[in-house]
């Protein structure tokens, strides 16, 4: 598998040039951290030291007038014990017959609202328990309709359920609104996810953000409920982040998350019943180049509360400190040729 992938990468520029391909982008993203994790003052040795966090390959381009494609593969997640597509974040073909309508099929991001959920994992340093347990990349199909000159977009999606286990036939039904109006942005959705065949966990996700000069504020509410336990904010995740960018080369931020499940029902596979966790922290990002291809970061977070999931990512009295480097490289960029105008 690795040899096949290597041959593909080596031949891609030659093939694209020979065929005079439409617009094509080939990018590589790399991030490595040095981190220290402590629980109740004791070092977690398996999670201390230098860690290669991300090695992403991204390919996107156009096929003809109305078709385009996008592909992101996490090369550091490919192993003998997993299938190739398990490390594929997305791989889909998109059809845009009009400026307003867009149809897509393939492996996609599950259309759930919220800014923490929507951000690329390589750009996140510490997250909620919910984020760490949701399988947000699934096979499916979607249709999107743009409004108000692209300032609003409605997305309807049918895909495999993030709770799908081997041998199960479960699906998710998602309706999402994405809006940008001046300094205000929104990522909101209503979702019905099967946690077992014929049994649904419903989501109401409300993501709100506002840009006030150099300051950006984001706040997410993720409410979850089953038909048997439909109580607001009994099973939910709240995430807030405040970031300030006083200069183009510096970003300073503070973030807090709160996961709680008092519903005592099996439907939520991300935040288990009896859990109540708070995570607080902050950090900074430094960009030595104007085009932001290189980023240095340092951050710290602390978690307290209770997690009933013995395999959970967040643990009570957990401290996490890391510093790291992110490198984003444009390896290849091809533009399709346009015909020269004729002069009569």
Tens digits of residue pLDDT in 148-193: 888 999 999 999 999 998 788 999 999 999 999 999 999 999 999 9
pLDDT band at 243 (very low <50, low <70, confident <90, very high): very high
pLDDT of residue 231: 73
Helix (H, G, I), strand (E, B) or coil at 242: strand
Answer with the residue of higher pLDDT: 35 or 265. 35
DSSP state of 183: T
Task: For domain 92-324, give the CATH number.
Answer: 2.40.160.10
Give pLDDT tens digits for 250-270.
999 999 999 999 988 788 999
pLDDT band at 80 (very low <50, low <70, confident <90, very high): low
278: CB partners within 8 A, 6+ apart: 256, 257, 258, 303, 304, 305
> Which of 154, 161, 189, 153 has the alpha carbon at shortest distance from 174?
189
pLDDT of residue 81: 61
> Which of 33, 76, 80, 81 has the alpha carbon at shortest distance from 57?
76
Q: Domain residue spans in the chain?
A: 92-324
């Amino acid at each position: 598998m690795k040899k096949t992938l290597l041959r593909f990468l080596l031949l891609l520029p030659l093939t694209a040039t020979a065929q005079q391909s439409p617009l094509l982008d080939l990018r590589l993203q790399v991030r490595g951290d040095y981190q220290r994790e402590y629980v109740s003052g004791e070092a977690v040795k398996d999670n201390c030291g230098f860690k290669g966090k991300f090695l992403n390959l991204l390919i996107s381009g156009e096929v003809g007038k109305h078709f385009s494609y996008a592909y992101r593969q996490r090369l550091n997640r490919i192993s003998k014990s997993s299938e190739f597509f398990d490390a594929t974040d997305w791989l889909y073909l998109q059809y845009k017959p009009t400026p307003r309508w867009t149809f897509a099929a393939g492996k996609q991001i599950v259309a759930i609202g919220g800014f923490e959920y929507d951000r690329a994992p390589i750009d996140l340093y510490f997250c909620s328990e919910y984020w760490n347990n949701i399988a947000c990349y699934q096979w499916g199909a979607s249709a999107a309709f743009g409004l108000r000159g692209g300032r609003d977009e409605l997305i309807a999606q049918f895909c495999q359920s993030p709770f799908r286990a081997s041998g199960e036939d479960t699906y998710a039904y998602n309706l999402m609104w994405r809006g940008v109006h001046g300094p205000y942005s929104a990522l909101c959705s209503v979702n019905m996810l099967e946690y077992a065949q014929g049994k649904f966990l419903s989501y109401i996700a409300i993501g709100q953000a506002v840009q006030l000069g150099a300051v950006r504020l984001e706040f997410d509410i993720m409410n979850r409920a089953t038909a048997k336990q439909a109580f607001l904010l009994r099973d939910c995740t709240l995430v807030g982040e405040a970031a300030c960018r006083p200069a183009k080369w510096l970003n300073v931020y503070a973030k807090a998350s709160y996961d709680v499940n008092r519903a005592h029902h099996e439907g939520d596979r991300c935040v288990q019943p009896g859990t109540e966790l708070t995570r607080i922290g902050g950090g900074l990002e430094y960009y030595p180049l104007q085009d932001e291809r290189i980023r240095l970061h340092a951050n710290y977070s602390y978690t307290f509360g209770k997690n009933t999931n013995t395999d959970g990512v967040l643990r009570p009295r957990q401290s996490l400190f890391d510093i790291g480097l992110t490198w984003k490289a444009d390896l290849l960029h091809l533009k399709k040729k346009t015909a020269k105008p004729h002069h009569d």
